[in-house]
Structure 1
Amino acid sequence: MHNRRSHLLASAALGLALLAGTAHAATDLLDEVKQRGTLRVAVEGTYPPFNFRDAQGQLTGFDVEIAAAIAGKLGVKPVFTTTEWSGILAGLQAGKYDVIVNQVAATDARRQTFDFSGPYVSSSAQLIIRANETRPMGTLADLKGKRIGVGQGSNYADLARGIEGAEVKVYPGAPEYLQDLATGRIDAALNDSLLIPYLTQTSKLPLKAGAPIGPSTSNAIPFRKGNPKFQEAIDKALADLKADGSFEKISTKWFARDVSKPLAAAK
């Protein structure tokens, strides 16, 4: 009797577990978002021009506007959380928010933990040159013998060192190398193609974007695994934003071009 009762209890528990598992599997993140009426979005909040607080303390930037537009396509309101980059992916894994819209590279390592939307931003390393530069600097061969400024500890320092015949100067940050570039102490600088319009505009120095260098990389929107309906809805929202011109409008406002399209890199 005891054994039979144990067996029946075990069977009942297994049945409940299977039902619970089925119910859980049937609840896609899209259903949660729709029921809640909000899309919970994480950004750093300190990463201009992507996401930052303006003079009035309001959260703004390219990623903030794109996230709000995606939420609109889903028929819900965006709710933003700001968090440091060091913990932003762990917060997503813990379910503190639904998505991160913060220029996250969709690497193979990250794909083991998260699912991603299709790419919505393409970037590459790009030269910054003086506004009145007349020398050819459109190819890697043109950079032989040139002095190139880069930020300390950046990926671009390694990239610049790989340019044959170039002299690399390392600086604490962008303000220092932009100043040296403007005054002629270096011939060019190297940074992310997405940041250059913002850097040249805010520095108010006579500088402009030059040729892209090296391969382009794609950034996408990560979310917790196992939510196919949500993934489809996010991808459709991005596709609709591109189709109706909204994406290009937001992108042009912040970067003076459509950043979903890669630049042709120098060879």
Structure 2
Amino acid sequence: MRGTKSIRYVSLACLLTLFGSIVLSGCTVNSNDRVPTPNMGVNPYRVNTGFLLRNAVERGTLRIATERDYPPFSYRGTGGILTGFDVEIAEEVARHMELKAEFVETEWENLLPGLTEGKYDAVFNQIEDRPDRRALYDFSVAYLSSTPVLLVHSSGKAQIRAFSDIKGKRVGLNPTGIYKDMAKRYGAEAVPIKYISDAANKLANGDLDAVISDQLSVTNLKQQFPEMPVAAAESADRVSEISAAFVKGNPDLVAAVDNALATMQQDGTYLTIWNKYFGDAPISYKGIHDRKVK
């Protein structure tokens, strides 16, 4: 009987110890159990993933890659401060997650590979969500959409009214986008020019016959330089949906960013940034709720 009684005492002691541990753990704030913000609507630790969101919460920062050299989306503004539409959207996403945006600047060709190498948590830099990229990366909901446009001199002296008219013409374009392929398809002479402002100036001066760029860059250009004698002649039959990109295996981080973007749409933060760069032109894309549901 003594053996049985001793066993009971030991079992009771174990239960009390276990209960005490549970109570204490319930009263102690554990950073690994913390949800960054109620706006996220998800528990970032309920899914076994690559732990990028957990690490971000523990650091207090969301590491975001950007090209830094692609206005109006990411560039060095007044005083050399990093700014742009994508930069401000990323900053607000981090703030809505109760994190600080920590930007990592790199070249365009290194943006996505850097995700795989673990150099940062996300890329906000005009990355199009495409099926071929989804084999290696995950994407947030689209935070804007755009389409290629043909920019011509507003005088019409080049007699270019459509993409079909640029055969043999000198067409300025950013060589890192899809525009080089478009120029080749229509038989144009592609002239690599990184910045749309430079290309538009050459077009206005007669050094180019046309420019291929994206609709939003053209909208921003006209907002900054309304008197520049250039106009959009035709929009391509192609819509690009732009999203934040992530390395695969972090659905909690993707969900957190998606929820932050949705909250930004609801509280007006998104529209404030949108109007700053693109105004309220009729061709402007009004927000992520207008996007095509995937």
For the aligned pair, the TM-score class normalised by the smaller chain equals 0.7 to 0.9
Q: How many residues align?
A: 238
| Match of residue 3 from structure 2 | none
Secondary structure class of the residue paired with 2:242: strand
How far apart in 2 are the matches of 1:250 and 1:236? 18
Q: Deviations over 1:81-120 (max 9, x none)?
A: 1112222222221222111111112222322222111221
Determine if the alignment matches structure 1 residue 194 to structure 2 residue 221: no
Q: Which amino acid aligns with 2:285?
A: D
RMSD over aligned CA atoms reads 3.6
| Match of residue 234 from structure 1 | 257
Determine if the alignment matches structure 1 residue 182 to structure 2 residue 204: yes
Secondary structure class of the residue paired with 1:108: coil
How far apart in 2 are the matches of 1:27 and 1:162? 41
Q: Answer with 146-155 or 32-41: which moved more.
A: 146-155
1:222 Cα deviation from its structure 2 partner: 1.2
Name stretches of at least 5 consecutive residues in structure 2 with no aligned partner: 1-45
How far apart in 1 are the matches of 2:127 and 2:174? 21
| Match of residue 69 from structure 2 | 46
TM-score, structure 1 as length reference:
0.73
Q: Does the Cα contact within 8 Å between 1:146 and 1:188 map onto a contact in 2?
A: no
Percentage of identical aligned residues = 33
Q: 1:131 to 1:249 in 2, by over 3 A?
A: farther
Q: 1:80 to 1:183 in 2, by over 3 A?
A: closer
| Match of residue 91 from structure 1 | 114
Q: 1:259 to 1:169 in 2, by over 3 A?
A: farther
Larger-gyration structure (1/2)? 2
Q: 1:168 to 1:134 in 2, by over 3 A?
A: closer
| Match of residue 191 from structure 2 | 171
1:67 Cα deviation from its structure 2 partner: 0.5
Determine if the alignment matches structure 1 residue 65 to structure 2 residue 77: no
Q: Does the Cα contact within 8 Å between 1:175 and 1:203 map onto a contact in 2?
A: no
1:76 Cα deviation from its structure 2 partner: 1.2
1:223-262 alignment to 2 at 5 Å?
223-256=246-279, 257-258=284-285, 260=287
Determine if the alignment matches structure 1 residue 149 to structure 2 residue 171: yes
More strand by share: 1
